[in-house]
Structure 1
Amino acid sequence: MVMISLLLPDHVEQFRVLVDAVAAAPDFDSACRLLVERVSTSLKVPAALLVGRAGGWRVQAAHGDLRATNGDAPAPEHADVPAALEAAVTSRPVGSDEPVSDLMVTGGGRWTQVALQDSGRHHLRLLLLGEWTLSAPMLQEWALRVSAALRRLPVATSSVPNRRLVTTHTFARRLSRITDPGQLHQTIADSFARAVRAEKSSLALFDRANNLLTIAATSGYAGVLVRHLRIRPGAGIIGAVYRSARPLLIANVRALADAPTPRLRYRTPSFISLPLVGADGVLGVMSVADRRDAQAFERRDLNQLRGLASIAALALDRNDAVRAARASARLAAIDPVTGLFNRRQLHLRLDEEVERARRQQAPLTALMLDVDNFKQLNDRLGHQAGDAVLRVIGDVLRRSVRLFDVCARYGGDEFAVLLPDNGDGSSAQIAERIREGIEGSRPRGGPWSDDVRVTVSIGIASVLATTGEELLARADQALYLAKREGRNRVAVSAPPDRAS
């Protein structure tokens, strides 16, 4: 049973406002999209706008689920309702329609057709799902006003190259500001969909370590639906595009001889997949599906995405290079055994902290640590045991200091700690906490674990202003004082003016 619908006073007011919005649109195409979206939203039914040209009718814009029906069973998932709408309108000669009439659509239910006045460039038909002919007088009057507004608008086709240039420039600027990989991937997926008015898109990136493609970002549907996918090069559409490094534009995937089973999340059978080619080969595959007007993607859509693809590939290459550089910089600054800063990085930070302490007249303390009897331990139990001891010390140091303090392996079995804004008193407490923590720890990982007892001697130096080398030298002197006094203890260096 078909439900009969009527325009309500609220609808009439919304349609009046819509005429003004259409008149203010920048061009004909934008006005068509706005018109269909607003009508569909106001009446809460799917709507489509068809344009008649010499080659026949085609859907210019659509909004809502075109497979829904008013009172009948929904159209089958595979039904090509946009094509059925075009066929139904084509069956009536152009110019012979009544202003408002009903229209039976094969596989798509009953629709109402509203003829918009010929603008001299196009024949237009607005289709509304359901039976709206009882409101024909109001629809006809409104159609006359909309037609007049549409006639005054410029056609946007001549500005397509300029729009493409602006879109490409904006895309490049946006990507250049992003450093987070996840945000970069999502921005690429969203921008590709927006560029060709697609409802859905996905970005698949190649994982060289596992020789597989994985979905890095999606737009228009939940990424959790596809994040588990692992795509081999050559497998499926994405894998084939990756291997061939050539784009694929499909108007109707169901027409292919070896067509894959349609997925429920896709509304239309048309899609584009294209490779993202970087400096060292194909980085991944970008795919878009479901044009918002329910039409098949065209060559101009592919050309638009090709321009974006080269920019996206450059951004992905740059992001990979930045991450590799950061990893290299980290490796250059980190001791591989303990995970602490190395000596070179310590001296860089030491210069910064000394300058800051001098500028702010703030105390700066240095601790120098040395493992007691480390050579004998290494000779007796081997280098694996020695490395395990060094790792224990690194772990204790990290747990014992503040986030902004600096811990480093100075060389061999010697360590250094910089404590900004700390004088002798509190620094001595920190040093004692470190000493006790190391004495109470046991290295793990070998049969020798229970035989190893680790202790350290610690020297402290703290002044208001000095050179970095002088500060470390005085902490080192205090360290050897602790050694002479029996090891496994903390010694504090006297300030320069009291040192003997």
Structure 2
Amino acid sequence: MPGGRAAGRCGIIVHGEPHRVSSTLNLDLTLWREFQAGLSGLLNIPISLSGADGKIIVPPSVENRVCRVELESEGGRRCAESCARAVAKALRTKSIYIFKCHKELFSFVIPVFLDSSSALAIVGGRCHLSGVVASSRGAGGADDVRTMSPHELFTLPGFVEKLAVPVLRGLHAKGLCASELRRRESRRGPLRSIDSLDEAVSTLASLTDREELLKALLDKSIELAGAEQGSVLLLENDGTSLSVKAAKGMDKSIAENLKIRCGEGIAGSIVESGRPVIVTDIEKEGPARKNRPRYKTKSFVSIPLRMESRVIGVLNLSDKITGEVFSEEDLKLLLSLSNYASIAIERGVYYNMIEELKVISVTDELTGIFNRRYFQERLFEEAERAKRHSENFSIFIIDIDDFKALNDRYGHLVGDEVLKGTATAIRDAVRSIDVVARFGGEEFGVILPYTSKIDAFVIAERIRKGVEKYGSVIKGMPFREWPTISLGVAEFPRDAETIEELLYKADKAMYMAKARGKNRVVVSE
């Protein structure tokens, strides 16, 4: 399969002269490295950041064995050349580009245009494609290379683009703020607000919670402009009106109940026009603007807040401490900060989305406990820890007795309640350090760090009795007695030297518990 363009919006080709880009950027990449590592872990693929010339700026936090071996050999040059060509193609076409490298691994490139002269590229994937036999499979310990379906390969880049691009643009905006202020400082002497703006941007960069971000934006804007009062208004979900999300100098009851329809008043008009406004004398706007006892001066400034191309809110400031009117210099400073704040708001939305996805990716949807994927990851970590430090741990394999008969008799809704209740009973009986997960169906697993199977037996009995008695606290079920469970216990490395063997021993012990009459614990021998 040759390199190709991703489907959808990203597949649009922009005709004409190639976009001129530069890889010389003023970016603080500390936040990006943290974000990149988190996204890579969430998606289970290597992700890196390259300049417009294709050279890697931030390497992957984790690399698969195929690429690691190749980069440490003569093949590293071919890897770099292949990636550089793909980056050039993505930047030239202004679209996500999917390609296959000389090791037959599939990757994607996401072009990131920061402004008219600066661009980066996010490179990710390095995976096998299901149904495609690659020569690198099985060679050099290639078992850690992820296999994707064609659907995943062509949809995942768009997801990464939505999450990652706002972060990079936010970092770029932060760098531009600092650069512009230093340029002015060198031309005009010390600028009173450079330290304040640097501090303001740094403060916003550290926040992802929207409420905290908006409050910080207002506080720092007031400080920059030397104002006494201000507010941040955001569009409601229906998009027809603005409401106050942060305020200073405004009565709390007024702030909580104030609604401004789009198109009405100065703030409402800014939503529609998207242009900032400085007013030197509000009373000249008309008689309705006179007699404003809450304000000390007649001047104020209002600035739109954006997410991508949409206006999502308005920043208002009034009453300069000096009694002067707001100046063009004030506007430039506030626009610099609000541009970054808008991107920070967008970044916060996607950051929260990532946090939610992290939870979803390791959680069983029905029971709320961990899923099989997370259990396997933790099992691997525990085995590696035990090997390094010559320690032990135990696991349980747990199965609900006669669950299929119960499901057939009472239906799936009752069956789901039994699964949820059993998961709760298991979780309530273990320690805080233990890991409880649903394998699928009516089977559960528990990892018990630093625990021998002798000690694990005591905990297993506590779980068994807890599940047995669980029915007494649940009302409205169509049966008298809550279903029981059978548990198998195995210890690493006493019973097994590999994860596979450990799971087999615990599973075998669980089936022995079934054979011996169910509702009991059997320890692997």
Question: Could you tell me the TM-score, scaled by structure 1's length?
Answer: 0.61
SS at 1:454's partner residue?
coil
| Counterpart for residue 474 of structure 1 | 505
What is the Cα deviation at residue 467 of structure 1? 2.6
CA gap of 1:348–1:264, structure 2 versus 1, over 3 A, is: farther
Cα pair 2:383 2:492 within 8 Å, conserved: no
What is the Cα deviation at residue 338 of structure 1? 0.5
What is the Cα deviation at residue 272 of structure 1? 1.6
Instruction: Supply the distance in 2 between the matched residues of 1:474 and 1:232 (Cα, whole angstroms).
Output: 67
What is the Cα deviation at residue 455 of structure 1? 1.3
Instruction: Supply the distance in 1 between the matched residues of 2:244 and 2:514 (Cα, whole angstroms).
Output: 59
What is the Cα deviation at residue 255 of structure 1? 3.5
Deviations 1:406-465 (A, max 9, x none): 111101110111111122233222222222222222399996445562211111112347
Whichever residue aligns with residue 473 of structure 1, its letter is Y
Q: Could you tell me which of 253, 273, 295 is aligned with 1:244?
A: 273
SS at 1:276's partner residue?
strand
SS at 2:471's partner residue?
coil
Q: Could you tell me which of 485, 490, 494 is aligned with 1:456?
A: 485
Cα pair 1:385 1:446 within 8 Å, conserved: no
What is the Cα deviation at residue 366 of structure 1? 0.7
| Counterpart for residue 366 of structure 1 | 395
Aligned ranges for residues 123-162 of structure 1 at < 5 Å?
159=188
What is the Cα deviation at residue 201 of structure 1? 2.5
What is the Cα deviation at residue 313 of structure 1? 0.9
* CA RMSD in angstroms, aligned pairs only: 3.2
| Counterpart for residue 290 of structure 1 | 319
Instruction: Supply the distance in 2 between the matched residues of 1:157 and 1:259 (Cα, whole angstroms).
Output: 45
What is the Cα deviation at residue 328 of structure 1? 1.8
Deviations 1:361-392 (A, max 9, x none): 33211111111111111111111111111111
Instruction: Supply the distance in 2 between the matched residues of 1:484 and 1:210 (Cα, whole angstroms).
Output: 63
Instruction: Supply the distance in 2 between the matched residues of 1:410 and 1:360 (Cα, whole angstroms).
Output: 28
Aligned ranges for residues 33-432 of structure 1 at < 5 Å?
159=188, 167-208=196-237, 213-219=242-248, 226-227=255-256, 229=258, 231-234=260-263, 236-257=265-286, 259=288, 265-279=294-308, 281-432=310-461
CA gap of 1:234–1:423, structure 2 versus 1, over 3 A, is: farther
SS at 1:226's partner residue?
helix
Whichever residue aligns with residue 332 of structure 2, its letter is N
CA gap of 1:293–1:235, structure 2 versus 1, over 3 A, is: same
SS at 1:417's partner residue?
strand
Whichever residue aligns with residue 475 of structure 1, its letter is A
Whichever residue aligns with residue 348 of structure 1, its letter is E
SS at 1:216's partner residue?
strand
What is the Cα deviation at residue 469 of structure 1? 2.4
Instruction: Supply the distance in 2 between the matched residues of 1:176 and 1:456 (Cα, whole angstroms).
Output: 50
Instruction: Supply the distance in 2 between the matched residues of 1:218 and 1:290 (Cα, whole angstroms).
Output: 14
What is the Cα deviation at residue 342 of structure 1? 1.2
CA gap of 1:491–1:302, structure 2 versus 1, over 3 A, is: same
Which segments of 5 or more consecutive residues in structure 1 lack a partner in the other structure? 1-155, 495-500
SS at 2:368's partner residue?
coil
| Counterpart for residue 522 of structure 2 | 491
What is the Cα deviation at residue 274 of structure 1? 1.2
What is the Cα deviation at residue 161 of structure 1? 9.0
Instruction: Supply the distance in 2 between the matched residues of 1:397 and 1:235 (Cα, whole angstroms).
Output: 58
| Counterpart for residue 18 of structure 2 | none
Instruction: Supply the distance in 1 between the matched residues of 2:216 and 2:330 (Cα, whole angstroms).
Output: 19
Cα pair 1:458 1:478 within 8 Å, conserved: yes
Cα pair 1:192 1:305 within 8 Å, conserved: yes
SS at 1:442's partner residue?
helix
What is the Cα deviation at residue 318 of structure 1? 1.3
Decide which moves more: 357-366 or 240-249: 240-249
CA gap of 1:234–1:355, structure 2 versus 1, over 3 A, is: farther
What is the Cα deviation at residue 488 of structure 1? 1.2
Deviations 1:10-53 (A, max 9, x none): xxxxxxxxxxxxxxxxxxxxxxxxxxxxxxxxxxxxxxxxxxxx
Tell me the matched-pair count: 339
Deviations 1:58-78 (A, max 9, x none): xxxxxxxxxxxxxxxxxxxxx
What is the Cα deviation at residue 178 of structure 1? 3.1
Instruction: Supply the distance in 1 between the matched residues of 2:402 and 2:263 (Cα, whole angstroms).
Output: 60
Cα pair 2:208 2:347 within 8 Å, conserved: no
Instruction: Supply the distance in 2 between the matched residues of 1:361 and 1:476 (Cα, whole angstroms).
Output: 24
| Counterpart for residue 34 of structure 1 | none
SS at 1:267's partner residue?
coil
Cα pair 2:467 2:482 within 8 Å, conserved: no
CA gap of 1:298–1:332, structure 2 versus 1, over 3 A, is: same
Instruction: Supply the distance in 2 between the matched residues of 1:301 and 1:352 (Cα, whole angstroms).
Output: 54
Cα pair 2:303 2:316 within 8 Å, conserved: yes
| Counterpart for residue 10 of structure 1 | none
What is the Cα deviation at residue 210 of structure 1? 8.2
Cα pair 1:392 1:443 within 8 Å, conserved: no
Whichever residue aligns with residue 352 of structure 2, its letter is R
| Counterpart for residue 55 of structure 1 | none
SS at 2:367's partner residue?
coil
Decide which moves more: 413-422 or 174-183: 174-183
SS at 2:341's partner residue?
helix
Decide which moves more: 302-311 or 223-232: 223-232
Whichever residue aligns with residue 462 of structure 2, its letter is R
Which segments of 5 or more consecutive residues in structure 2 lack a partner in the other structure? 1-184
Whichever residue aligns with residue 491 of structure 1, its letter is V
Cα pair 1:442 1:449 within 8 Å, conserved: no
What is the Cα deviation at residue 358 of structure 1? 2.2
Question: Could you tell me the TM-score, scaled by structure 2's length?
Answer: 0.58
Decide which moves more: 164-173 or 286-295: 164-173
Cα pair 1:369 1:479 within 8 Å, conserved: yes
Percent of aligned positions that are identical: 35
SS at 2:288's partner residue?
coil
